[in-house]
Structure 1
Amino acid sequence: MNQATTLLFASLFCTSAFAEKALTVVSYGGSLAEAQVESAHKPYTKATGIKVISEDYSGGIAPIKTQVDSQKVTWDVVDAELLNVYRACSTGLLERIDPKTLAPAPDGTPAEKDFIPGALSECGVASYVWSTVVAYNTNAFPGEKPTSLKDFFDVQRFPGKRALRKAPQVNLEWALMADGVPRDQVYTTLETEEGLERAFRKLDTIKDQVVWWEAGAQPPQLLADGQVSLASAYSGRIVIASRKENQPFKIVWDGQVYDMEAWVMPAGNPNKAQAFDFLKFATQSSVLADQSNYIPYGPTRYSAQKLVSPEVQADLPTSPENFATALQVDSEWWGDHADELNERFNAWLAK
């Protein structure tokens, strides 16, 4: 952030009411929290003089509910999954956020028109996009390379074991898309018994070739060890393994299934005004773009995407080319169907 920009933010955000106060911002720790500290926390402190205390948690609604119910809210801003944002908002655990009060794009475009679809909700502002993709070890395919989601299911042209997460989410969506269902019809198809049967039939075609994983660190390791040729994986994990460990991995962006994480504010926080001040700062285009320099997650604003360098943008789920065939996880739909589909998926696995 240059000096002129810093001075501008100082004039916008620093008031005598905020002087010498501190904010507690909660996220998931690790490389994500480090990226947030560098791109948002430190610049905010520099611009306002307000200290930002970073705390880690493991997600979920329970810790927010405990604070709100006891009327002892100590967390000012929290990074939360969209599914939990919807749930917590519907039960009054979060403050409402008017998108009109968020910072506009650098060219003056209102925030409501600058965020990608689904990024703005009644109680949350999504700050990054993460994605599940098909990844493969290039050593496994010296000739023709996989280029599409359908190739993941084609064990004849692209032989070898596949790795999939041991859960129905993404697997069912992928099965339908690979079977020819248009992206905009995936969830309406899954609403029907015929659609569910179609998805499981498609998964049946590769079931005997699947190695199931449960932790995000497993797919890169399975690919590196040669235990599988292709894997579902979190794109950020594959990018980091390729960049920092020189692993011969390649991402197939076709059919990526993406989700977002949002900044929220627990309800009843006496520090609400200052908390929103940080949230507004942290969801500016320049801050979201800078975050992608530290971790390969996509910014949630169109204007932020334009500020990312071409070199970084190539590895982001939100780059125009990578995003062209992406499907957003319908968190509300999964909230309504997760229990029954987890049970059905586990029964299918046991067959």
Structure 2
Amino acid sequence: MKVTKTTLLASAVAAVAGGAMAEEMTIVSWGGAYSKSQLKAYHEPYSEKTGVTILNDDSSAEAVAKLRAMNEAGNITWDVVDVVAADAIRLCDEGLAMEIDPEVHLAAAPDGTSAADDFGDMLVSECYIPTIVYSTTFGYRTDLVGDTPPTSVCAVFDTDAYPGKRALEKRPINNMEWALICDGVPKDQVYDVLETSEGQDQALAKLATIKDDVIWWSSGSDTPQLLADGEIVMGSTYNGRLFSLIEEQNQPVGMLWDAQVFDLDGFIIPAGLSEERQQRALDYIFFASDTQRLADQAKWISYGPARSSSAPLVSQHAELGIDMAPHMPTDPENAKNTFLYNFEFWADYRDDIDAKFQAWLAQ
């Protein structure tokens, strides 16, 4: 049965109004330091408040493919899924995520500002509840880069100055953009070039210059572990993972903010849940996406909250006692030379470029 956006929304509104809720739910996320921040800020206080049992699944990297397969099989086993914005747009467009009305399903700010106004431009999809602004950037071993630590993202392509293995994510996103930037394409023209077959070939050709020196990662925990073990000289990962590595684990690692790629992460609720599971999921996101909860997450990891009202509440790390603001990707000192990720581009081109990228990897 095809579920329309209208029927999904009507069902969701009815769920909020009242009814039984499931006593157990599966929440899908990314694992590691990020999942710990959600556990502390969202899961534990929600379970304490409601008594619900939360099962954690670290499959977010495969969320689109797995939700497609679940929908095809008519067996949705996930209740709330944490995904990046481009994947949320794809899932919404394909009818695999339910529509969210911020005026009904999300809490207003403490001063009464509506959720829609509080999230503002962060609401990039009708099915998406953004929670954090993060960036993908590079970490490097301070003891392996000699007397001249890298200051440019293009250092990843300079194997003469910085010999050794690099770690890059095993997908085209970000890698293709960095490759074009480091091949001379102006930032404001990157996506115009990348939408052409010639531009995609140009990016892959640049990546080919270091292909033999790359360890390809799939999990957000891979690069931090490779850096900690000294197996790579530098590698891409999420800024919060690097914060954990540097500040919590005291590893000899530096952060390279140049051309960091801003992105959003947040929740979707899969379409096709039973009424009891859907209502539980809606109740959870109402709680987990409120002003205080998003500010609380920033006490555990260096990601900026997606709500405007949460930002003034961000202060110090919950355990380390250090000021978190200088560690945020949005801090003015860190955001001097960012690259703005194009959600719509990757929602439209992801499947085609993925196929091309994976074929190139296999060569």
Please report the TM-score for the alignment, with normalisation by the length of structure 2.
Answer: 0.75
One-letter amino acid of the structure 1 residue matched with residue 52 of structure 2:
V
Q: Following the alignment from structure 1 to structure 2, what is the Cα–Cα distance between the partners of residues 21 and 207? A: 48
Q: TM-score, normalised by structure 1?
A: 0.77
**Is 1:79 matched up with 2:85?**
no
What secondary structure, in the 3-state scheme, does the structure 2 residue paired with 1:322 have? coil
Match of 2:166 in 1: 162
2:38 partner letter: Q
Cα deviation digits, residues 116-137 of structure 1 (max 9, x gap):
6444421110123443211111
Residues 119 and 260, structure 1, Cα contact 8 Å, conserved in 2: no
Aligned to 1:306: 312
CA change 1:230–1:255 in 2 (3 A) is: same
Report percent identity of matched pairs. 41
Counterpart for residue 286 of structure 1 = 292
Q: Deviations over 1:177-226 (max 9, x none)?
A: 23343444322220123422432343344445444444443323433444
Q: What secondary structure does 2:54 align onto?
A: strand
Q: Offset of 1:159 from its aligned partner?
A: 4.5
Deviations 1:276-299 (A, max 9, x none): 343122112221111122234332
Shift, 1:263, TM fit: 1.8
Structure 1 unmatched runs, 5+: 1-14
C-alpha change, 1:211 and 1:65, in structure 2 (3 Å) is closer
Residue 223 of structure 1 corresponds to which residue in structure 2?
Answer: 227
Counterpart selection for 1:315 from 327, 330, 354: 327
In 2, Cα distance between the equivalents of 1:241 and 1:318? Answer: 19
**For structure 1, which segment, 192-201 or 18-27, has the greater mean C-alpha deviation from structure 2 after superposition?**
18-27
Alignment-derived partner of residue 98 in structure 2: 95
CA distance in 1, matches of 2:238, 2:141: 15
* Worse-superposed segment, 182-191 or 27-36: 27-36
In the TM superposition, what is the alpha-carbon distance from 1:270 to its structure 2 partner? 1.8
Look up the match of 1:50: 50
1:248 deviates by: 0.7
Number of equivalent positions: 335
RMSD of the alignment, in Å? 3.6
Label 1:140 to 1:119 Cα distance change in 2 as closer, same or farther (>3 A).
farther
- Corresponding residue SS for 1:115: helix
Q: 1:348 to 1:89 in 2, by over 3 A?
A: closer
| Structure 2 partner of 1:270 | 275
> Corresponding residue for 1:6?
none
Task: Give 1:337's aligned residue.
Answer: 349
Aligned partners of 2:181 and 2:187 also within 8 Å: yes
301 and 225 in structure 1: CA distance in 2 versus 1, 3 angstrom threshold:
same
1:326 corresponds to: 338
AA in 1 matched with 2:94:
T
Deviations 1:298-350 (A, max 9, x none): 32223323322262233333434434543454455334434443443355456
Q: 1:10-49 maps to which residues of 2 (within 5 A)?
A: 22=23, 24=25, 26-28=27-29, 31-44=33-46, 49=49
Alpha-carbon distance in 1 for matches of 2:230, 2:32: 27
Cα separation, 2, equivalents of 1:71 and 1:227: 43
Quick one: which amino acid aligns to residue 245 of structure 2? A
